[in-house]
């Protein structure tokens, strides 16, 4: 019942705060990696280069689905903003179901921009199966397709080091976030600005996905403070010998 | 059509959730099991579509004579070769095991080896790229844990570093990791709720 309570409270807060954010939009603190992402989107249209958005190899039927869905939300906006470019974006995934959704999301972005006829189905790709197969398939995209920025949002493990190394060789900007601790530490070491922990889920809010994404950030902050208070209360009660 | 897909997606999400939270309700668990079985079948179908996508992308590269098209040709030849062998030979046949043990595992091990050198190089470059307090803490921690985990030539760990590395792993790193994972869980929860409410539609709607 605790789980149902958390879900209910989160849903209620999300709906209420979304309505509130629609009326009074708020400002978010600056995250260098997401500022760089915002700039990379604009630059790719201006200088005729391509963006590579990779959503990792997390499936949708397990705990990694959340990061994949966050990546898809960002992909939807990026494809809408860059679809009219001479070099439209290319997206890759290492899971077949995620690959299908990647193609569908890219197409939705083109539709929203009013240029559905420009959509090429092979711009959404399944580059391989399994962590290393996926990375090995995604590495040549950086060197062969006039990429200006690699945007890695999803589930990446240690193999993300191969992608960042390929980007470094081609002097391509890397903006990366993963829900996996090994992936996060490697992205921290090998990218210009890295996103840590839940910052992966903030990408939508920073590139203008709307009030619901802003509301999500506020609800996450509220829930985080509740967890902090519960942890302190638990520690105090244990210290006092009451539990 | 977009409204219909959203209604179906939301209804399926709610029914699966009901199965988790109210298993005693009549039919709810049966419906949940049925929907999850359908999802499994769809994943299997998606795997075939994924392989076809891989073939189309690489066939396109060969047709356009793009850079690296030789590798695309090798990939397609070996993909179809392995597929045919899988159809002809019984599961666990020696040739299939040879492909797995003699090609796939060594290639993955080689990539892992390359990754080790890549990470070492990334750590060296990190100080040049971003010489701040966080970077120094990151590198010093990594070095301490490495020294603590490394064995001396006569088979024992370095005494002081060993205890320090254990303390870093079990206290500092475990605490930090839990904090990060709580944040990721909250993000996942809110992302899931947005999909459940039809605000985010990764299934193609605007």
Is B77 a residue whose pLDDT tops 90?
yes
Do A144 and A230 lie in one domain? The reply is: no
Domain of A73 in residue numbering reads as: 29-209
Do A164 and A237 lie in one domain? The reply is: no
Tokens of A116: 């559905």
For position A88, what pLDDT does the model report? 87
pLDDT band at B205 (very low <50, low <70, confident <90, very high): low
**Is the Cβ of B70 closer than 8 Å to some Cβ of chain A?**
no
Do A33 and A70 lie in one domain? The reply is: yes
Cβ proximity of A201 and A28 under 8 Å: no
Do A139 and A198 lie in one domain? The reply is: yes
Q: pLDDT, tens digit, for every residue of A74-85? A: 999 999 888 888
Tokens of A183: 């992936």
Is B2 a residue whose pLDDT tops 80?
no
Tokens of A117: 């006829």
Picking from A202, A15, A55, the residue whose alpha carbon sits closest to that of residue B183 is A202
CA distance A166 to A176: 14
**In this structure, is the dihedral angle defined by the CA atoms of residues A132, A134, A137 and A138, taken in order, positive or negative?**
negative
Identify whether A22 is part of a domain.
Answer: no
Residues in B closer than 8 angstroms to A61, CB to CB, are: 39, 43
Mean pLDDT, all residues of chain A: 89
Containing B116, the helix (H) or strand (E) segment is helix B105-129
Identify whether A1 is part of a domain.
Answer: no
**Which of B199, B201, B203 would you mutate first to test chain A, the one with the most A CBs within 10 A?**
B199
Cβ proximity of A74 and A151 under 8 Å: yes
Give B67 to chain A, closest Cα distance, Å.
6
Cβ proximity of A183 and A158 under 8 Å: yes
Identify whether A174 is part of a domain.
Answer: yes
CB contact under 8 A, A11 and B115: no
**Is the Cβ of B68 closer than 8 Å to some Cβ of chain A?**
yes
Q: Side-chain half-sphere of A196: how many Cα atoms within 13 Å? A: 12
**Is the Cβ of B60 closer than 8 Å to some Cβ of chain A?**
yes
CATH code, A51: 3.40.50
Q: pLDDT, tens digit, for every residue of B16-31? A: 988 888 888 888 889 9
Do A175 and A64 lie in one domain? The reply is: yes
CB < 8 Å from A in window 120-159 of B: 121-123, 125-126, 129-130, 138
Picking from A178, A206, A176, A216, the residue whose alpha carbon sits closest to that of residue A194 is A176
**Is the Cβ of B33 closer than 8 Å to some Cβ of chain A?**
no
Q: pLDDT, tens digit, for every residue of B146-181? A: 888 888 777 777 778 888 888 998 999 999 999 999
Average pLDDT over residues A106-128: 89
Cite the DSSP H helix spans in chain A.
2-23, 32-46, 65-82, 96-113, 131-144, 160-169, 181-190, 203-206, 211-239
By Cβ distance, the residue of B42, B53, B200 closest to A126 is B53
- Angle in degrees, 0-180, between the axes of helices A2-23 and A211-239, rounded to the nearest 10: 140
**Coil, strand or helix: which one is B29?**
helix
Identify whether A9 is part of a domain.
Answer: no
Do A75 and A159 lie in one domain? The reply is: yes
In chain A, the residue whose alpha carbon lies closest to the alpha carbon of B180 is A197
Q: pLDDT, tens digit, for every residue of A161-209? A: 999 999 988 989 999 999 999 999 999 888 887 888 888 898 888 888 7
Give B125 to chain A, closest Cα distance, Å.
8
Do A75 and A168 lie in one domain? The reply is: yes
Do A142 and A184 lie in one domain? The reply is: yes
Task: To the nearest 10°, report the CA torsion of B157, B159, B161, B166.
Answer: 80
Residues in A closer than 8 angstroms to B169, CB to CB, are: none
Share of chain A above pLDDT 70, in %: 100
Q: Using a CB cutoff of 8 Å and minimum separation of 24, what contacts does B107-116 make?
A: B107/A132, B108/A130, B108/A132, B111/A132, B111/A135, B111/A136, B111/A159, B111/A162, B112/A132, B112/A158, B114/A162, B115/A158, B115/A159, B115/A161, B115/A162
Mean pLDDT, all residues of chain B: 87
**Which of A56, A96, A163 would you mutate first to test chain B, the one with the most B CBs within 10 A?**
A96
Average pLDDT over residues B101-106: 86
Only one residue has tokens 């902050």, namely: A221
CB contact under 8 A, B115 and A161: yes
Cβ proximity of A220 and A201 under 8 Å: yes
Strand A147-155 with A124-126, pairing: unpaired
**In this structure, is the dihedral angle defined by the CA atoms of residues A234, A235, A236 and A237, taken in order, positive or negative?**
positive
CB contact under 8 A, B122 and A125: no
Do A156 and A190 lie in one domain? The reply is: yes
CB contact under 8 A, A69 and B195: yes
Do A136 and A221 lie in one domain? The reply is: no
Residues in B closer than 8 angstroms to A219, CB to CB, are: 190
Give A39 to chain B, closest Cα distance, Å.
19
Residues in B closer than 8 angstroms to A66, CB to CB, are: 184, 187-189, 191-192
Do A101 and A186 lie in one domain? The reply is: yes
Q: How many domains does chain A have?
A: 2
Cβ proximity of A110 and A136 under 8 Å: no
Do A228 and A199 lie in one domain? The reply is: no
For position B27, what pLDDT does the model report? 87
Is B206 a residue whose pLDDT tops 60?
no
Q: pLDDT, tens digit, for every residue of A18-71? A: 998 888 877 888 888 888 888 888 888 888 889 999 999 988 887 788 899 999
Give A105 to chain B, closest Cα distance, Å.
5
């Amino acid at each position: 019942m605790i789980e149902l309570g958390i879900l209910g409270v989160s849903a209620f807060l999300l709906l209420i705060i979304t309505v509130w954010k629609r009326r009074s939009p708020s400002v978010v603190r600056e995250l260098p990696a997401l500022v760089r992402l915002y700039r990379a989107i604009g630059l790719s249209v201006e200088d005729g280069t391509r963006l590579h958005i990779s959503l990792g190899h997390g499936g949708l039927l397990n705990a990694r689905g959340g990061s994949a869905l966050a990546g898809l939300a960002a992909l939807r906006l990026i494809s809408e903003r860059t679809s009219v470019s001479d070099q439209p974006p290319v997206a890759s995934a290492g899971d077949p179901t995620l690959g299908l959704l990647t193609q569908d999301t890219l197409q939705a972005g083109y539709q929203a921009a009013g240029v559905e006829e420009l959509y090429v189905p092979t711009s959404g790709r399944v580059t391989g199966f399994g962590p290393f197969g996926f990375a090995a398939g995604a590495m040549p995209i950086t060197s062969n397709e006039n990429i200006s920025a690699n945007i890695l949002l999803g589930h990446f493990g240690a193999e993300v080091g191969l992608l960042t190394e390929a980007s470094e060789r081609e002097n391509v900007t890397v903006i990366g976030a993963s829900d996996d601790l090994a992936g996060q530490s490697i992205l921290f070491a090998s990218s210009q600005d890295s996103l840590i922990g839940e910052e992966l889920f903030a990408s939508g809010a920073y590139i203008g996905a709307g009030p619901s994404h802003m509301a999500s950030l506020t609800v996450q902050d509220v829930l985080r403070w509740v967890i902090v208070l519960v942890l302190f209360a638990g520690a105090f009660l244990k210290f006092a010998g009451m539990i | 059509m977009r409204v219909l897909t959203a209604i179906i997606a939301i209804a399926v999400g709610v029914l699966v959730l009901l199965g988790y939270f109210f298993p005693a309700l009549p039919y709810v668990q049966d419906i949940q099991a049925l929907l999850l079985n359908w999802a499994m079948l769809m994943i299997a179908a998606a795997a075939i579509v994924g392989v076809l996508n891989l073939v189309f992308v690489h066939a396109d590269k060969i047709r356009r004579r793009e850079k690296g098209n030789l590798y695309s040709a090798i990939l397609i030849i070996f993909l179809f070769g392995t597929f045919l062998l899988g159809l002809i030979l019984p599961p666990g046949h020696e040739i299939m095991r040879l492909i797995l043990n003699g090609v796939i595992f060594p290639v993955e091990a080689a990539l892992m080896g390359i990754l080790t050198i890549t990470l070492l190089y990334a750590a060296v470059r990190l100080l040049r790229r971003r010489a701040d307090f966080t970077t120094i803490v990151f590198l010093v921690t990594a070095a301490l844990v490495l020294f603590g985990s490394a064995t001396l030539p006569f088979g024992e760990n370095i005494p002081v570093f060993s205890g320090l590395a254990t303390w870093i792993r079990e206290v500092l790193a475990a605490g930090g990791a839990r904090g990060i994972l709580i944040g990721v869980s909250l993000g996942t929860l809110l992302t899931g709720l947005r999909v459940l409410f039809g605000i985010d539609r990764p299934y193609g709607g605007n």
